[in-house]
A = this chain, B = another copy of it.
Amino acid sequence: MVCWVMSRGFCRVSSVLCRFSSVFRGCASAGSVRFGSGCQERLSRPLLSGTVDRFGGVTVRDFPPDISEEEFAELLRGSLHQWRSERRVAVWLHVPISLSRLAAAAAHHGFSFHHARGDVCVLSLWAASGEDRTPAFATHQVGVAGAVVDESNRKVLVVQDRNKTTNAWKFPGGLSDLGENIGETAVREVLEETGIRSEFRSLLSIRQQHEHPGAFGMSDLYLICRLSPLSYDIDFCTQECVRCEWIDLTELAKTSETTPITSRVARLLEYGLEKGFHNIDLTMEQLPAVYSGLFYQLYHRRLPETI
C-alpha cells in the first residue's frame, strides 16, 4: 500500500484557506455567483475555497448555492488549474444533496463518487500524475451472531430464519449498526430475535465473503461470538424466525440441518465445554486509541502468562 493510504490517518490539518466572500472576487453577490466573461477578464478568476490536508489533498465543502452545472464546471476548471499548480495530489468535493447537480459538472473534469451518506455525496479526483492513491471507502458490512451456551445442560440457542429457503438451524444474529461493537451486536440481536438476555464472553469465528448478497456489491465479515445466558425463557420474533430452541450441542454438531459454519462452531463449543473455553476463545481487551481518544477492542488468544 502506498504511503497516502497506508498512513490510515487522513485528516485535515490546515485552516480554511479562504471563504467564498473573499474568493468570488468581483463577480460574487450574496447567495449567487455570476460569470460575466468581461468581468472575469478584467479581474482574477474566481476559485473554490478548500482546506488542505497533510497528504496534499484539498477538500471543498462550500459551494455557491445558486450556481448552475455549467457555471460550476467553469469554476472547477479554474480551481483545478490552480490546485495542480500548487501540486495538490487529490481533490475532494463534499456536495450537499440540494446541490447534487454539481456532481455531473465535476464528472466532466474526471471526478467520480467516492462515497455518499444521508444528505452529502463526496466526489474525488486524483490530481497528481502517476498511480491513483485515493484511499478507498468502507468495503465491508459486519454481521455478528451469538452462540448462547447454557453450560448447565450443554444446550445452545438456535433459530430458523423465516426468509431462508432452507430452514437450517443457526445462531441468532444480524448486521452491526455503525459504531456498534461486535459483542454489543451479538447481545442485541439475540435479544431482538429470541427474547433471551445474554452477555458477551468471547469471539469464536470469522467469515469473510466477497460479493455477498445484500451487501450492495461489497464484502461481508460475519463473526460468531460466545455468549452466556442471563435469561432462559424464549420469546422469539415471529417476523424473523419460524423456530427458536435450546438445542443440545452434540445434536447441533451432528445434524445436517444446519450451516457449515454453525456445525463447526458447535464442535468448537463442545470442545470448550469439555476442555475449557480458553481453548477456543478469542478474548477481548479494550485499549485507548491514540488519535481519537476513544477505545478500540482487540481480540486474540489469551496471552501466555494468563493461560
Contact = CB atoms under 8 A, between A and B. Distances in A.
A303 B264 contact: yes
B292 A211 contact: yes
Contacts of A177: 136, 139
A1 B218 contact: no
A270 interface: yes
A117 B113 contact: yes
A8 B291 contact: no
A34 interface: no
Task: Name the residue in A116, A271, A305 with the highest tally of chain B Cβ atoms < 10 Å from its Cβ.
Answer: A116
Contacts of A181: 208, 210
Given A100-B102, A280-B301, A292-B213, A220 B136 contact: no
A71 interface: no
A267 B305 CA distance: 9
B115 A103 contact: no
Contacts of A176: 139
Contacts of A163: 3, 6-7, 9
B1 A193 contact: yes
A185 to B, nearest CB: 9
A211 B264 contact: no
Interface string A27-55: 00000000000000000000000000000
B164 A7 contact: yes
B8 A69 contact: no
Contact of A218 (B100, B138, B275): B138
Interface in A87-112: 97-104, 107, 112
Contacts of A192: 1-2
Contacts of A204: 300-301
A270 B304 contact: yes
A138 B138 contact: yes
22 contacts: A5-B174, A6-B161, A7-B214, A8-B174, A8-B215, A8-B220, A112-B118, A113-B117, A115-B116, A139-B140, A139-B141, A178-B210, A204-B301, A205-B298, A206-B298, A207-B297, A208-B299, A209-B296, A213-B291, A271-B303, A279-B301, A282-B282
Interface of A: 1-3, 5-11, 69, 97-104, 107, 112-122, 135-143, 161-164, 173-179, 181-182, 189, 192-193, 203-221, 239-240, 260-261, 264-265, 267-268, 270-271, 275, 279-280, 282, 285, 287, 289, 291-292, 294, 296-301, 303-305
